[in-house]
Structure 1
């Protein structure tokens, strides 16, 4: 299995998103932004509030440090009577050495009642830490030299500041001046609780934000879906109209957007009302076009019918004069011959126009069982007699092929296709006519030639009326340009289709007709007649 490259997998661009997707994504993004702003503001405000409260407690504790320390300075340490929990904490203390060191170092205030666990105290003299300890539970623990060094730079300005105390973590510390020897007493409380609270708040806010975005997305999807229902109905109406055959015949544009979706006070209503107005105008234009087509068809039919009589008269008089060509001068005899020839050509053109007018009017053709194999044999035989400078071939199945249609009109289809191949290809071209029933229920009549092909710009219009090829596929006498148009009209009236493909060296006309049903033939002779 060949791996798929990254370039082959591309995200769908935003401009290709549906309106519903864009609205839902926009709303979810807005909720996310609001949650982020509110969450950030809440965290910042809570931190400031906690820091303010912590600083107030820290400053109060630091201001009492010089006085509280005097009670614990000396060789013996006297604690107040502890409570039961405090007594349990004292029992867990390994020894009182750290307490004594704290008292001897002048930071006995660390052991004053009310100090929170984790509180640290230090005395700084001449830029050097002389004593430093922290309170773990109810026990004092001497700080290591590395951690104590971090406290040496605390200024005695009674201003709380945040300080990283090595292995102990981040602390809020404040320094005050001792009244006895002018050294700096440092008091600090850990920020671990404050940071834990903030982390918990962030986690809660993230969970709430995700839940809010999910709920907002679901609610937006439901609301947008309901709100876009009128737009979908308008689109369904437009799609229904787009599937109608509007290029020919009488078109009834009775489809309209429902009245409930044409309220001009809403955007969708404006679109629906505009579409209804458009459909009304298009329907009027199509009706006018159809009436014009009917008038033209009627005119062509009437004109063709009326021209048949004078043309027959012209041909009759020309034939009458030509019975005694010796009585006429050569120039006059030639002129009469040309009149007769052109009258015959014009008669054929009039007959073609009359046939097209009748087919356009929807007049039904005769329906009978037609032996298409016999018809093709006769047509190719006639074509080979007329076009002796071409090579004619047949490609027929072993069994006869029968279809239901008008025998005379189907013969005209075959004759026109063979005449088109003969007249628009140079001498020596091979023309192959064949039948095939490879598709169930359909017979394919094909006319192939190996001529120069149909020009690419003419190929889409070969079945249009009065379409003529260029010099490479034209004849000296010219053509009416109605032969293939008649083929297309007859085949369509029979319920079939005709297609053409062409390239230099191969041009193929394929006529698909429905095969005659098995019970469409003559009744079985052995069957009992009613």
Structure 2
């Protein structure tokens, strides 16, 4: 029974060559090509030089033989000139006819008389043009010769010199060049391997950094502390340095993106916390008047006397008004959060501030109210007059509610280039430092730190939040600075127009 395979065998993938290996192969190929070209050029140049020298010797020898044969023109087969001194061993000479056929031929021996050539040897020398140009012929038994035939006024001779010395010299040169090239290639290859290894070390460190970054728990939002490529490997003057610098920039971008994501998640988390706190606070604020209304309604259902019924109705009305005010504040904040456009008109801030301070004086008779107008003329702001009035009224009400009787509250209006500045300052106990960063958040209260003098029902903690939201909707900002004995709220609004006043308002300070 033959077992069937349960899984397909994976075909092993060939391992890719490393950059170091490919560079080494490339450098080796280049060096081999350079050495080959150098050897070939040297050999060809040396061969051309040796062949030229040999050709010159052959030309001189054939002219010499032609001159010697011209002494006896009638002897067409005479080779007696080979007996003259100064003839090198291996030189061959021949007398030829007009068709190039060999009439007689001999070769000079070493310390012996010239020896006549055989028929096969002379056959190898026939058919050479008699123009004095050297040619290469292979003579059986003698080797390769460089020969030239010359017709000098009817005297026709052929002379040749052996090429063995030249060929041996060229072969020896080739062997030497190959040996030197092999040694040079080996040395150059070793040097290149060392140099390439050292030059690629920065890339190895860059790769190690990339691997370490890839192991970082980025999925869990780790935004800091990622490994960087060392500064020595970020030199822009080298390719490896450019890669290292690019990797560092990418890591910086990754960290910045992770940090931004964390900030976004933190904002979402805080927003959700604020929403939960907002719903809890709103539920608590609404539950109190609803419970009061339900209690007084139950009291009336019991058939109480007319006095108690009237008191119950008044309390129901008061709690309903309180709940209606809270709902209206919440709806206003919701509209501001949605970015709904506000009514827009020219608002005289001096008149608006004076009116708000007068209203606060009527409500808070136990405080000292002061108004300061540091203006030379009307100060106009484009916006929602009722909304801006509510901003100032909320700041004044905050000072009235959270400071004891006898506190001096000063409202100031001044201008800077392009900005109207409203300041509400009091000399009360101040805002606790731990509450100061959240003073403009919704449902923020500090009942235990700042006394609510004369306010039995308390506030909802939305006044400053509404003031900040309305100010932001008008393109302005609100700020607070507080210390024991001095608390100052500052509202800055963009000014629409500063027309010249026909009857300027001088800077003045006066109680209201």
What is the TM-score when the length of structure 1 is the normalising length?
Answer: 0.45
Normalising by structure 2, we get a TM-score of 0.46
Structure scoring higher RCO (CA < 8 A, sep ≥ 6) equals 2
